[in-house]
Amino acid sequence: MSVDIAVIDYGMGNLRSVSKAIEHVAPSASVVVTSDPAVIAAAGRVVFPGQGAAPDCMREIDARGLRQAIVDAARSKPFLGICMGMQVLFEHSEEGDTACLGILPGTVQRFPHEAMHDDAGNKLKVPHMGWNNVHQAMPHPLWVGIEEGARFYFVHSYFVQPTAPDVIAGFSHYPFPFTCAVATANIFAVQFHPEKSQNDGLTLLGNFVTWNPGERDTACDMSGAACA
């Protein structure tokens, strides 16, 4: 059986939501939740979700022998990182002082306690949990059909800080601006949960399952936005 979309399972939490949402937007695609490097290598596109803590994620990735398969997929085919699956693409996480996959330059940091209050002085809770506005920092095929500032569902205590600002595809505020989406050639990764973000989340996933990274200029034209 050829696999259209592989959802990488490394034992970190609930993957059913992700696979169900993808099946919903791509009913004719074969979607497989897998921890088999060969299946990941053969899949047409790859979704890399994840919940929990960074040290556990990295340990489980290595315990299952998945590191190389993830790195290879992130370099070669449409690749969607979600939540922890976005964070561990970077070099290092402050959470448990953890060395991550290093596919993207940058680090992962905790929302700093001293900054967590709004303009009126009210305490802001961590984890950052709930629906927040996502601002699109670049036109991208995965944003097509999604309004600037649309709300997505977040739940996280750490956020990514890319070294190269040109990979920033989206940002949100809590209370300061933080990166919540990054994009490179064939990678798109988000801090929020598209699989839990109702219609806009499904739109993003639907865009991913039809995304052909080589045709980015065409997609930019379709979105009506100017390509930088």
Give the footprint of other proteins on this chain (CB under 8 A): 12-14, 16-17, 20-21, 24, 51-53, 113, 116, 122-133, 151, 153-157, 173-174, 193, 195-198, 201-202
Residue 122 Rama label (left phi>0; alpha psi -120 to 50; beta): beta
Q: Which is nearer to other proteins, 174 or 188 (CB)?
A: 174
Q: Which is nearer to other proteins, 121 or 214 (CB)?
A: 121
177 cis-preceded (ω within 30 degrees of 0): no
- The tokens describing 221, both together, are 């034209």
Residue found by looking up tokens 């592989």 in the block: 6
The closest alpha carbon to 161, from 111, 113, 117, 201, belongs to: 111
Single-letter code of the amino acid located at 154: F
Single-letter code of the amino acid located at 168: I
Told to judge if 95 belongs to the known catalytic residues of this protein, a careful annotator would answer no
Told to judge if 128 belongs to the known catalytic residues of this protein, a careful annotator would answer no
- The tokens describing 158, both together, are 């750490």
The closest alpha carbon to 165, from 220, 215, 105, belongs to: 105
Least distance from other proteins to the Cβ atom of residue 141, Å: 21
Told to judge if 195 belongs to the known catalytic residues of this protein, a careful annotator would answer yes
Name the active-site residue from 83, 100, 180, 220.
83
Q: Let me know: does 107 contact 161? Beta carbons within 8 Å.
A: yes
Q: Which residues are catalytic?
A: 83, 193, 195
